[in-house]
Structure 1
Amino acid sequence: MLKFFSRSPLGPTPSDILDQLLNATPQATSMAPRDCRGIYGLVDHFGKLRYIGSTSSAAETFYKRIHQRHRTGSETTSHYFSRMYNTGRMWRERNDPATKVDGDVAKKLRNAFIADYCQAIWVPLSDDLDISGLEAQVIDLAPLEVIAWNRRGMEAYDEPRDLVDLVIDRLKFGAAERASIDRQYARFRGGATVAQSLSEQVVCGSFSFPKGPFRFVALDVETANHDRASICQIGVACVRPDNSIETWVTYVDPQTSHWVFTSLHGISQKTVKGAPSFAEVFPVLKQALEGLTVYQHSGFDRSAIRAACADIGSVEPDWDWQNSVTVARRAWPELKGNGGHGLASLKEFLGLTFDHHDAGEDARAAAEVVLHAERV
């Protein structure tokens, strides 16, 4: 399992790496190597490979990325074990002070469940290789079923109750802890859906948006096709005065049957079934971002908002638009002609962790670019 590819002139091919992933023996997440990095896969409780990622940041090892981040990290970002098992008695709503005590117990249960019943595989690579670039090529070659979690392509699992019961017994949960997770289950079933736990929230017909104050926000959209008005997902990363980031994401029904970019972002007509239209989302977004500086990474996102507004007969909002690409060019001029200032290049250069072409993830990445540039 810890066989490194040799530093041959040609290097490992994406098909070589994919073949190793598909034929590797899954191991417990706690067994992930602490001293190397490369490309890895996450295996669900059924024993199925469902996600391919990489430790593209030089600061992250397999152990840190898999066992510490994917298993114990936030349910609302790109920590996929946490996200896919944020369900049933293991569910919590992040940063909800009213349910924090119960939510912490639910998260403890989820962390233990993943350690007991989920696994991972990994292919170590030399640090001098373009790990992020190889990851993208491996994902392009991979069968759809083994990247089902990538780009949020699957809903969270139903709770595996029998297995969860075994974990509860192993942890020796007492009456108070069992009552906590039962309350979390009731909250989960009583309207806190899986989509809501990912901040894709529709509450009683209105959209729950994070409450400020915010220093600035970053906005990103995904579209169904080449028509910029065909917005199918909107993400807003809200940066608080302490520089913490809270991300709001919603699917949007573009009301079209013409889908071109599903292979890029994983969103389809089926994904947005039942989602609000842009006409329903826009009033909430307009009010929430009024008076704020709004960063986009390139000019696409503003042009998409403008086109979608025109499509519903509305005027483009008078937001203070700024461009994080411009900020990045000023902060790191050495990247010109050396990877450029796109999010994929900055991901590698700054050691960012996010899934490209997810509106919430890309918005958060753009906000992080601005924060990094401020330090420069």
Structure 2
Amino acid sequence: MTLTAHDALDHLLSQPLRRFDDMPDAVGLYGLGDHEGKLHYFGMTDSDSFRDRIWSRHITGSEERSHKLACNYSVGRLWHDRHHPSTNARDGEIARRVRQAFIRKHCGFVCLPLKPTKDELRRLEKGVIALAWPHIADWNKTRKRVATFEEPKEMVNEIIRELGLGVSEIAALERQNAIYRRL
């Protein structure tokens, strides 16, 4: 029996979001969820493991590409754009570090490990996105930020405390927020 896109979507939607530390060393389909536990994006990986793909691209990737978590959580004190004329590289790196810690703690993923061909995975991914659109796969529609939420301030404050940031690092985050507010 061939797995259908409907079956794959049902499987992905039936799972609770998992912590990023719990990613299997496998390939297949995956979904990314926000800090409120809502799925927003579906993707596939056929050569990199879930850990390599999600960690290296979506969590620690750049803000301006299709790195969905990094892009959509580039808000408020977590904002950074290395190409923006007001960018300070040190401040931006602090914001990225806090953003990555925030994502690791408060966001999650679901996955469906599979071993089909690349073409079969692409077919399933396309079908899952088509079935889930527009309510769940809203981050799939563009390479830019589409999230409508603002910085979850109390959750970010918690991360700042956990990281033990000092006065100068907190000031750097506030400078990032000031630039973000002027955008």
**TM, length-normalised to structure 2:** 0.91
1:181 alignment counterpart:
173
Give the distance between the partners of 2:21 and 2:148, measured in 1 at CA.
22
Partner of 2:146: 154
For residue 170 of structure 1, the aligned residue among 135, 138, 162 is 162
Q: Which residue of 1 aligns with 2:128?
A: 138
Task: Decide which structure has the larger Cα Rg and report it.
Answer: 1
Q: How many aligned positions are there? A: 179
Aligned to 1:253: none
Residues 1-376 of structure 1 correspond to what in structure 2 (within 5 A)?
A: 10-34=1-25, 36-56=26-46, 58=47, 60-95=48-83, 98-128=87-117, 130-152=120-142, 154-190=146-182, 193=183
Conserved 8 A contact 1:87-1:156: no
CA deviations over 1:18-56 (Å, ceiling 9, x no partner): 00011012101221112x111100011111111111114
Indicate if the aligned counterparts of 2:33 and 2:39 stay in contact, CA closer than 8 A. Answer: yes
**Higher helix fraction: Structure 1 or Structure 2?**
2
Deviations 1:177-196 (A, max 9, x none): 11110111111112xx3xxx
Unaligned runs of 5+ in 1: 1-9, 194-376
**Partner-residue secondary structure (3-state), 1:114:** helix
Q: Deviations over 1:156-213 (max 9, x none)?
A: 53000010000000000001111110111111112xx3xxxxxxxxxxxxxxxxxxxx
Structure 2 gaps of 5+ residues are none
Structure 1 residues 212-248: Cα deviation after superposition (integer angstroms, max 9, x where no partner): xxxxxxxxxxxxxxxxxxxxxxxxxxxxxxxxxxxxx
* Conservation of the 8 A alpha-carbon contact between 2:64 and 2:81: no
The equivalent residue for 1:273 is none
Runs of 4+ residues deviating >4 angstroms: 95-98
| Alpha-carbon distance between aligned partners in 1 of 2:57 and 2:146, rounded to the nearest angstrom | 19
Q: Conserved in 2, the CA contact under 8 Å of 1:88 and 1:184?
A: yes
Please give the root-mean-square deviation of Cα atoms over the aligned residues, in Å: 1.7
| Identity across matched positions, percent | 37
The normalised TM-score by structure 1 is: 0.46
Alpha-carbon contact 1:83-1:156 (below 8 Å) kept: no
Measured against aligned partners, the alpha-carbon deviations of 1:321-341 in whole angstroms (never above 9, x if no partner) come to: xxxxxxxxxxxxxxxxxxxxx
For the 8 Å contact 2:44–2:122, the answer to whether it is kept is yes
Q: CA deviation at 1:154?
A: 2.6
Deviation at 1:132, TM superposition (A): 1.2
